[in-house]
Structure 1
Amino acid sequence: PTAPGEDEYNQLSEREKEIFMLFAEGISTREISEKLFISVKTVNTHKQNILEKLGLSSNADMVKYALKKGLIRLE
């Protein structure tokens, strides 16, 4: 649970932030697992935790959230 006005993104663990940014940049689950040397199942577990903490429901929502928060930019 986030205090009113507190940024949900800051509630993510460092690993969740790392995985969030990779998803937001369009990297696939399999590519993330290979890059971080973790299983696809572990990536999916992190993804579900991220979506829940941020109140999102899809990869597309993660991209929109990242753009809105200025975490990524269109090139």
Structure 2
Amino acid sequence: MRLLYICSKEATEIGRQVASGACPYCKGKVEAVDTEHKWMFCCIPISYVNKRKYVCSLCSRRLVLYDQ
């Protein structure tokens, strides 16, 4: 339990952009959301990770890209 208080993870949204394509479920617009995740140990930042997620603007589902 003490490890939970020492280590923490913060996520902040950097920005949103309109992505190409449509949602396969509701045919809504797709947005690309850029987020920054910051791992901290005793108030000292350890690492920064930038991630991009694709989300439908109408039904708010997270969309996953598959390579074929």
Question: Higher helix proportion, which one?
Answer: 1
TM-score range, shorter chain: under 0.3
Question: Higher strand proportion, which one?
Answer: 2
Higher relative CO (CA 8 A, sep ≥ 6), structure 1 or 2? 1
TM-score by length of 1: 0.20
Max Rg structure: 2
